[in-house]
Amino acid sequence: MDLRAVSRRVGIAAAVVTVVALVAPYAVISGPEYASQLATYYASGVVGWGGITLFALLSAVVIASVEQGNVDPGTLAGVAVVLAFATTLSAASWAAAVEPSPVFRDNLWLVWHAPAVVALSIPLPLSAAAYARAVLS
């Protein structure tokens, strides 16, 4: 088993899964009565959902770019680790800042959404660190 290839694929997949899970309520919850509540829900935390999405997608792009050879692989692998940790930390700060609203009463699964996003983002820094270790060794 090639640790470098596996950790690269897992990192990219973890980033994409984090973003898909993050935006899932927009696909599931509909109705004008929930629009402002969802906007408040997603704006919670230091960087909100936009920052989490940005960090996750940038992590995926950087991890995918390491093998292209345009920039020093060690540098890009280090950047990927930093972005991956930023993704998980911003997801955790967002989850800690979320306050329940009436939309939670009608959609009980939403109570577990923010912790699930954090849990799904955890493999991203782990795989980025494993990938960086494989690149640098």
C-beta separation of 7 from 127 below 8 A: yes
Q: Which of 17, 1, 11 is nearest to 132 (CA)?
A: 11
Domain count, the chain: 1
Radius of gyration of the chain (CA): 16
What average pLDDT does the structure give for the chain? 89
Quote the domain boundaries for residue 71: 3-136
Please give the torsion angle defined by the CA atoms of residues 123, 127, 128 and 132, in that order, rounded to the nearest 10 degrees: 160
- Per DSSP, helices labelled H in 29-122 are 35-43, 48-65, 73-97, 102-106, 113-121
pTM of the complete model: 0.89
Place 91 in a pLDDT band, splitting at 50, 70 and 90: very high
pLDDT recorded at residue 87? 96
Q: CA 54, CA 109: separation in Å to the nearest integer?
A: 25
pLDDT tens-digit readout, 25-78: 888 887 787 788 888 888 888 888 999 999 999 999 999 998 887 788 889 999
For the chain, the residue count is 137
